[in-house]
Amino acid sequence: MTSPLVLRARRLLPIFAILALAGGLRVRGLGSDSLWGDEGLTVQLAHMDLYNLVKFDTWWEQIRPVHHLVIWVWIRLFGDSEFSVRLPSAIAGVASVGMLFVLMRRVMGWRAATCAALLLAVSPMHIA
């Protein structure tokens, strides 16, 4: 007789595999290319002091500066290499695959959630 814990682990194995696939696809080659224009601007902004960063973002970007604030903290902790600057976005991409799974599981069930998570994990528009 199989315990409920083993059954639950078997059921969660596909989503963990999908999350690992999503992580691998998003991390592959992160530091191999030089920064693009918008990524370079983000690094320049992240080197500003916090007051000027928020002031510039509200004047220029006209959006909430959440991404720039995350990068501002991130480069102070982990540096400003190409890999390091792109890693928070890769982490958010993997997290969105997991969040989609949870949402779809509640709305449509396990199979639909697994299929949706797999499709988002390998979506070229979500990886690059």
Q: Write the pLDDT tens digit of every residue in 33-79.
A: 777 777 788 888 888 888 888 887 777 766 677 888 899 999 999 99
Domain coordinates in residue numbering, the chain: 34-80, 81-128
Structure token digits, residue 102: 């949870």
pLDDT of 101-118, one tens digit each? 999 999 999 999 999 999
3-state secondary structure of 128: coil
Helix axes 110-122, 4-27, angle to 10 degrees: 20
How far apart CA 14 and CA 4 sit, in angstroms, is: 17
Q: What is residue 51's predicted lDDT score, i.e. its pLDDT?
A: 87
- For residue 6, the model assigns a pLDDT of 81
Put simply, whether the predicted model's pTM sits higher than 0.85 gets the answer no
Q: What is the pLDDT of residue 53?
A: 81
